[in-house]
A and B are shown apart, each in its own frame.
Chain A
């Protein structure tokens, strides 16, 4: 149950209307600038985008607000956090103005705005009317939906219509298998206008995809890509054996399938302890055995990829391309084996990006990522 009273020390004072909010922002900006002047600094107001965050719990809203604050160094934005709470009537708007804390050697400060709109009760059709006047004109609108996006609700549809880009995290979905299909459908239906969808689980995969792709830049290994016979992807689970959906691992497989023209042969079938075992067919019709396996390893977040192994027949030889997280989880070892014998081995840093770094990457992309959408559609076709 959300607290009835918002912590004004965090979110700023409550204001009665949008115009009062704008006045309050002006006042706070002037105060910040006066304060900076006393310190011998100057403050620049900057915004490169509008970031609309939707959260259903105050804790999530706070966490999101903290993330957007830290993002202000690279993506100063007007952040509008919508806290959607059931069971209360009316719309509350509270304001907060933050100034990025300068490092001692800096003279410039960035001043940006964070607005909390607390939406209580059955107010679905009102949400957009609060957001629209708050958007900074001419700048792109990113909608970051924390939790599971509710399809077929008025507020979701309205906000999607305002947004240039939707950011979700399938690691937080209650039922990823269902919701990913909804997201895929969204990407398809809104494909006509300038609109893109992204999943932070996809962003987490970028280093893995980079490393997989790099194997096949080597001329000698490139032919193996057309002769893959087996794929194994491991994903992290926690000790209590909670049911973790391998949506990240499946996105990786969806990506391989969409880029290499693999087709589903049979539907996803559960195998040992929450894993999956199924077959696909490559562009020539030859079978590929795919295994998705849960792994319990220290330092790996539930759902995160722990390793990838691609097996390929080339002539009489069996090639294996292996990526494995090292015990020290910040590294990955990329190995190529031919008939079990190591041909190449390199160690690379594998960053473990927090939510801010993931958002940072996504906020720098305006428009759609068709490779992601293809991977998503391939994944949905599997289910």
Chain B
């Protein structure tokens, strides 16, 4: 790990109740005045302070191009937290003690970075942050490279540990992702790099691993012999709104599929890791990504669908089509819907399709994973009585209404045999009705503790792009054509064709 002087461990930390609090550190926030800092990061830090999950010595040093005073910066963050915190109203005593250790440095030029180095040294001495530094890149992606190089050039790494958190998007294709990684590696080792995918910070996503690997009954049937297919859906009812500028350059493939959808798929398909630690878990995930069957030029029309929403209705309100959104080019070819038919070519999953879909302006917001099992091998009940009985299905709902349900056939309580499908439902919020922490809170604490299990490693990102790049390439050449769908529908008819060709159907989430 880091090269700190041998300081004895703190014996008072022992035991199961006191282990989550990270060691003293400074969080250096680039893009400190940006949208992400305001909406997510500062509210997350403030809520961590409220839960006493921040270390005894903790400082935030914000950095951005245009100068503001410490006081003005604190006031700006106060307002941001007051607006966006998940707990309200803001606790002024806690905030003001927390805000004492917030500083701001303008980093428009070399002199600014030198000042940042001095401020960090001063904070270490005054606040006792042990020279530990967590750099957080919350800027637009084009600023990543210059900032990382400046961290190296101006010696901003502290005498304790140094780590860097990089927000999505990590590159826009394989080449740019590899280039960004090599720039990061000029200053940080790979084990110091924390590529954030906030989906992995969600409680229910972590629960996929618990469901699979803490229970003995699922793993034996978690394979091609018992599983007919898997459907993963990330549906949003929102349009692009104020993110249009970014979105029009990215599209659903880069925004959702490359990171969130492929991560969910990896968690469902991965082999059991030997341990729950960053290395073992990520080793297994990357194996799945490597086993992902490439979608060749020849297959791209049959295995992918790209769509774009047109005018339609969401919750009874008429909404404009993508072309009419602000800041979208009227002839934009950007996809707002993607459906893929994927295969994991390994022993466990050979021949089992994974259908992935995501879209904006779908009828409702829903993220879920459905494992569809094969039907019973031999029917002993006559056809009439078991008409309408489906195969068993295990559904992991990630948002909203987190939970897990299993459907199975049961006898209707009448004379004779009538069988129908019933649902056994575990509602997360019902068995454990507590406020789940925001995923940023989970991930910031993990990064401060140096636990990278829920972050994306270099080889994962590269495998993700290796899979995505050829598809985007074909799409650029117009294969298959962009399919329009009315807002408020479950995507273009082409998506139905994609799955119906296999004799299957999309679920209605």
Contact = CB atoms under 8 A, between A and B. Distances in A.
Interface of A: 44, 46, 48, 73-74, 76, 108, 110, 206-207, 209-222, 225-226, 256, 259-260, 326, 328, 331, 334, 343-349, 365, 369-372
A259 B14 contact: yes
Interface stretch (B28-36, B49-57, B108-116, B179-187): B49-57
B97 A210 contact: no
A290 to B, nearest CB: 17
Q: Which of B14, B23, B100, B431 has the most CB of A within 10 A?
A: B431
- Which 5 residue pairs spanning A and B have beta carbons closest together? A371-B15, A214-B56, A347-B97, A73-B433, A213-B12
The secondary-structure label for the interface of chain A is mixed
Contacts of A219: 4-5, 7, 24, 128, 130, 160
16 contacts: A74-B432, A74-B433, A76-B430, A108-B427, A108-B429, A206-B18, A207-B52, A214-B21, A217-B56, A220-B130, A221-B128, A222-B8, A260-B12, A331-B94, A344-B57, A347-B96
Contacts of A207: 52
B91 interface: yes
A222 B7 contact: yes
Contacts of B8: 222, 226
A209 B130 contact: no
Contacts of A365: 16
Given A209-B12, A344-B56, A371-B15, 20 more contacts: A74-B431, A108-B427, A206-B18, A209-B17, A210-B52, A213-B12, A213-B18, A214-B21, A215-B56, A217-B23, A218-B56, A219-B4, A219-B7, A260-B11, A346-B98, A346-B100, A347-B94, A348-B52, A349-B91, A349-B94
Contacts of B7: 219, 222
Contacts of B96: 347
A212 B100 CA distance: 21
A369 B17 CA distance: 9
Contacts of A225: 10-12
A207 to B, nearest CB: 6
Nearest to A368: B16
Q: Which of B49, B433, B434 has the most CB of A within 10 A?
A: B433
Contact of B97 (A73, A220, A221, A346): A346
Q: Which of A110, A260, A346, A369 has the most CB of B within 10 A?
A: A346
Nearest to B94: A349
A237 B57 CA distance: 33
Given A46-B431, A48-B431, A108-B427, A210 B128 contact: no
Interface string B84-107: 000000010110111010000000
A256 B14 CA distance: 11
B13 interface: yes
B211 interface: no
A44 B430 contact: yes
A128 B166 CA distance: 58
Contacts of A211: 52, 56
B52 A349 contact: yes
Contact of A369 (B15, B49, B98, B427): B15
A210 B18 contact: yes
Nearest to A222: B7
Contacts of B406: none
B425 interface: yes
Contacts of A216: 10, 12
